[in-house]
């Protein structure tokens, strides 16, 4: 491709959703891009084609509702920012109710064609086995959760032995406002005050003997997901799935993560719980709590059903469910600055799932931000990250900060890959939620719906302002992006 630009190119490693989006954003800013993709020269265990932005799992981008759903909001913000991924998804949408699902081949072909056709983008089919050479003064690594061993080892050498995770042991994370505190209570085991703690740092859910046995029976009978052949079996005693622990003996969990010792039920102090599930604060905002020791391979549907058997979690809403799988990602809160740049090496950014986000649109959105940041740096412009009140800003904050930390493990205690969800957004201003006129009873679900609607409206308004766009009108022409995107 002819590169009609006075700027030196920015190099991107990885042609998945994040790398493709980053390349598009950079080129649209008038800066040339060289996109390095190894598929076509070397395949992976998950991909089937050499197409750019290939969808390797589901064909769904999840909810497209921007009025009350965090995923729908990030869709809308990406559209406002001129996202190639969203434009191609919209062009190749297939029926899926309120979700945005795509024809996976049509979608990938459209992204591939758009990038090949752009005059400022050069696609090079080659494996980059190490970190970008120093002469690539600006570069983005967007190699995804299946980063090649050679590149992963180079990243490890640059960032440190503990900076790269290969297997992701994930405990479910619950929205704090969905926990029933009429049943649960705050208390640390033995009222111990840890670093930065108060002695009431956990939410405790009590089970009697009947409830515990029913829970164990459900775990053992639950539908578990097997490992793919290329994942291996990374079980070790420090992070056994809870269903495996349950199979090892009915009392195993009661003497492990569900032990009741050192805890007194604030609602019923004279009755000792037979077992207790503890939840620990997961983010600095205090809106998310993780289920301590509850990593699992149960299928998502089974997880939600079984975990809602726990007293106090009967109406739990999950920011994410548990898992244990192959997932290469870096310790971003420690390694990256607020513009996704590696602190130890100026000019080198990371994007996509390798930064610690989950999901197609989340991966693409971080590529969008990395591309915009890199283009601004190349052009000598100031870099302004999106406000934390936007979906883009909330996800960026999750990746680069906002976590519970300790002196022993700075940045690591609560950092794990996550999808966009309302628990990552800052709370609304006090008094924002007002009972509508004529409504007698306004609580619970109704208040939650209004809260989410207000968060969505705030996010889109702040995103438009960040992008320098005029305030939204009641109706936006459906072809507004098409005029500038030129995506077939």
Ordered by start, the domain boundaries in the chain are 10-163+330-401, 170-325
- Is 16 annotated to bind a ligand? Reply is yes
Question: CB of 151 within 8 A of CB of 13?
Answer: yes
Vertex 483 angle, CA 22 and 453, to 5°:
70
Helix, strand, coil abundance in the chain, percent, nearest 5: 35, 15, 50
Pick the CATH number of 10-163+330-401 from 3.90.480.10, 3.40.50.300, 3.30.365.10, 3.50.50.60: 3.50.50.60
- Is 17 annotated to bind a ligand? Reply is yes
- The CA distance from 92 to 488, in Å, is 10
For 444, the token pair is 């619970």
Sign of CA dihedral 102, 108, 112, 113: negative
- Is 160 annotated to bind a ligand? Reply is no
For 87, the token pair is 């434009």
Report the predicted TM-score, pTM, of the whole model to 2 decimal places.
0.73
Listed residue (343, 339, 337, 290) closest to 318, CA to CA: 290
**What's residue 467's pLDDT?**
97
- The reply to whether 170-325 shares the fold of 10-163+330-401 is no
- Is 14 annotated to bind a ligand? Reply is yes
Q: Which fold has domain 170-325?
A: Elongation Factor Tu (Ef-tu); domain 3 (2.40.30)
- The CA distance from 311 to 207, in Å, is 7
What is the mean pLDDT of each successive set of 10 residues along the chain, which is 488 residues long? 72 96 98 90 60 82 93 97 97 83 89 97 92 94 81 84 60 92 92 66 94 95 61 48 88 92 95 94 82 86 94 94 74 92 95 90 97 98 97 96 60 70 94 83 83 96 97 52 46
Half-sphere exposure of 223 (CA within 13 A, CB side): 7
Residues 6+ apart with CB under 8 A from 95: 101
For 220, the token pair is 């053992």
Listed residue (418, 448, 360, 396) closest to 64, CA to CA: 360
């Amino acid at each position: 491709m002819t590169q009609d630009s006075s700027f030196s190119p920015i190099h991107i490693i990885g042609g998945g959703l994040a790398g493709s989006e980053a390349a598009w954003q950079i080129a649209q800013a008038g800066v040339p891009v060289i996109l390095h993709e190894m598929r076509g020269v070397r395949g992976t265990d998950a991909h089937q084609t050499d197409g750019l932005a290939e969808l390797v799992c589901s064909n769904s981008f999840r909810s497209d509702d921007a009025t009350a759903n965090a995923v729908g909001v990030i869709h809308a913000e990406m559209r406002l920012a001129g996202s190639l991924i969203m434009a191609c998804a919209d062009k190749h949408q297939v029926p899926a109710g309120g979700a945005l699902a795509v024809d996976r081949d049509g979608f990938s072909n459209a992204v591939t064609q758009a990038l090949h056709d752009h005059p400022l983008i050069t696609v090079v089919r080659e494996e980059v086995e190490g970190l970008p050479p120093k002469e690539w003064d600006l570069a983005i690594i967007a190699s995804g959760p299946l980063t090649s061993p050679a590149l992963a080892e180079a990243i490890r050498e640059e960032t440190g032995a503990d900076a790269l995770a290969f297997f992701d042991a994930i405990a479910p994370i619950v929205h704090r406002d969905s926990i029933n505190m009429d049943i649960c209570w705050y208390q640390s085991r033995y009222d111990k005050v840890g670093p930065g703690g108060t002695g009431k740092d956990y939410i405790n859910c009590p089970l009697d003997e009947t409830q515990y046995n029913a829970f164990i029976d459900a775990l053992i009978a639950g539908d578990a997901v097997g490992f793919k052949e290329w994942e291996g079996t990374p079980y070790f005693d420090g992070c056994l799935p809870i269903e495996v622990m349950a199979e090892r003996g009915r009392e195993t969990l009661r003497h492990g993560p569900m032990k009741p010792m050192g805890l007194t039920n604030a609602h019923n102090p004279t009755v000792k719980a037979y077992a207790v599930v503890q939840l620990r604060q997961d983010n600095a905002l205090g809106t998310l709590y993780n289920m301590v020791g509850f990593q699992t391979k149960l299928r998502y549907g089974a997880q939600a059903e079984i975990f809602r058997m726990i007293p106090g979690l009967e109406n739990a809403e999950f920011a994410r469910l548990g898992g244990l799988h192959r997932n290469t990602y870096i310790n971003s809160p420690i390694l990256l600055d607020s513009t996704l740049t590696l602190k130890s090496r100026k000019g080198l950014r990371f994007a996509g799932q390798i930064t610690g986000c989950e999901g197609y649109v989340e991966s693409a959105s971080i590529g969008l931000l990395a591309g915009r940041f890199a283009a601004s740096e190349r052009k000598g412009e100031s870099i302004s990250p999106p406000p934390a009140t936007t979906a883009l800003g909330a996800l960026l904050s999750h990746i680069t900060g906002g976590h519970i930390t300790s002196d022993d493990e700075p940045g690591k205690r609560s950092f794990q890959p996550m999808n966009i969800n309302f628990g990552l957004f800052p709370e609304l201003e006090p008094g924002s939620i007002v009972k509508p006129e004529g409504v007698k009873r306004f609580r619970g679900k109704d208040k939650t719906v209004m809260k989410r609607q207000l968060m969505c409206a705030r996010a889109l308004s702040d995103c438009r302002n960040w992008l320098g766009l005029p305030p939204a009108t009641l109706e936006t022409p459906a072809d507004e992006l098409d005029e500038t995107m030129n995506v077939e």
